[in-house]
Amino acid sequence: MELTPVRTEDAEWLADAVETWDGTVRWDLRARTPSPRLIWRCLWDGVAAQRVVRDGRDQPIALVQTVGLDLHHGVAEVAMLVEPDRAGEIATPLDGFVDLAFRSFPVRKLMFWVPDDASGAAGCIAAIAAPIARIPDHRRRSRSVCVGVTLFEVRRR
């Protein structure tokens, strides 16, 4: 596994991944088919740092980002999108990204907002972060379906 910068060609797999992969709240598009503009916005707007996790064949299996950087309070959010079947493989690269974020920015903690139905993302995040809160019925999927969100945090080591 390797953390690499985002490449121009990554927009192609992101279009498919957004609809089928597990993600944190930033990438939870509520079953919408994303336009190229929306994917571009999620990929770049408000992003302080981001990396793609690639396997040994140079195939992307996850995207991790530092977003919502609040230097005043020393907090940032980590957003991610991960292939559900391979989520268990990214704990080490995710830990490496967390270290990169702490080395790069003067923050004391990083937060992950994970929808309850993103079990792959929650599983790999739980390997490095502690759950601190659960908000039931936070994200609306449709008129009749809502899902909760679990908030995880990692404090500077």
Structure tokens at 141: 């999927």
pLDDT, one tens digit per residue, over 42-70 is 888 889 999 999 999 999 999 999 999 99
pLDDT, one tens digit per residue, over 90-130 is 889 999 999 999 999 999 999 998 877 777 788 888 888 88
CA–CA distance, 23 with 32 (Å, rounded to integer)? 14
Integer-rounded Cα radius of gyration of the chain: 15
CA–CA distance, 77 with 132 (Å, rounded to integer)? 14
The CATH fold assigned to 2-155 is: Aminopeptidase (3.40.630)
More confident residue, 141 or 4: 4
The pTM is what? 0.85
What are the sequence ranges of the domains in the chain? 2-155
